[in-house]
Amino acid sequence: MYGMGTVFTFLTVLIVVTQLMSWLVLRLQLEDPQQTETALAKQKKLAAITAAVHQHQHRQQQ
**Domain segments of the chain: what residues?**
1-31, 33-62
Q: Where are the beta strands (DSSP E) in 1-62?
A: none
Task: Give dist(CA 23, CA 17) in Å, integer.
Answer: 10
For the stretch 20-62, pLDDT in tens is 999 998 887 765 566 667 778 888 999 999 999 999 888 888 7
pTM above 0.75, yes or no: no
